[in-house]
Amino acid sequence: MDVTTASSPETTEFEYEPYDNESGAGNVCEYGQHGISFLPVIYSLFFVVGLLGNVLVLWVIIFGVKLRSMSDVCLLNLAIADLLLVCSLPFLAHQARDQWAFGDAMCKMVLGAYHIGFYCGIFFIILMSIDRYLAIIIWKLLHTQSSKKQSIRLVLIVVAVYFCCWMPYSLASFFRALELLKVLHSCRISNDIRLALQVTQAIAYSHSCLNPILYVFVGERFRKNLLRLMSRAPCRVCRVMKTLIPSDRG
């Protein structure tokens, strides 16, 4: 099972594929599992951070903000989309280390969660950007000293972070498409592309746990609601966490 190709659920330590070498003669290209040493650890870390962070976002939006605007609705759905991606990471961590052992049905479910979360994330980020653009006269806002700048700064940073996380993977996928079209045809390039796909995909998955961090350190209204809920929460852990969250200036 591979989210980049959605092909067979089984992988081996080394894959072999007929390939043309640089001289044009037929050859067999050996593909090693480059990511077996780092992908399971990275995916497991992203799963823990992303799960806790996005559940925290849901808690704040549902019980603190109470969906007062379109942006709040978009943030809620974006957190749900990130959770779908995050829930696929334990399976991807196992698959990066060993053969897929969960069957075809689970393979389709994991791939479905991955693609739904991916495309829903794009949709709600675009929708949130359009909503903020329509709600605020933007060019003038950026050239004023008004405190209303905070209402759009979070959206711009979320969009920029999304672009930075997913653009490398999209570029690597483009080169993979060129390889499938036989535009690029050498064993060395093919191995480089596969390694690039694994590394950039890990970078892309980091986006699922970065949004909650952005909301805390950039979104002032989100941070206020989070601090208010933590103050009311009976657990001592919440009160300890409150000391780690930056307070608003002024």
In eight-state DSSP terms, residue 172 is: H
Length of the chain measured in residues = 250
**CATH code of the domain in which 18 resides:** 1.20.1070.10
Is 52 within the bounds of a domain?
yes
Is 2 within the bounds of a domain?
no
Question: What average pLDDT does this structure show over 78-100?
Answer: 86
Q: What is the pLDDT of residue 191?
A: 85
Alpha helices in 99-219 (DSSP H): 103-135, 138-142, 150-180, 187-205, 207-217
Mean per-residue pLDDT over the chain, rounded: 76
For the entire predicted model, the pTM comes to: 0.72
Percentage with pLDDT > 90 across the chain: 10
* pLDDT tens figures, 223-238: 777 777 777 776 666 6
* pLDDT tens figures, 12-41: 334 445 555 544 445 567 766 667 778 888
SS3 of residue 244 by DSSP: coil
CA 58 centroid distance within chain? 17
Q: What is the pLDDT of residue 51?
A: 92
Is 3 within the bounds of a domain?
no
Domain count, the chain: 1
Q: Cα separation of 77 and 85, whole Å? A: 13
* pLDDT tens figures, 115-137: 898 888 888 888 877 776 676 66
209 lies in which domain range? 14-242
Is 5 within the bounds of a domain?
no
Q: What is the pLDDT of residue 236?
A: 66
Helix%, strand%, coil% for the chain, nearest 5: 70, 5, 20
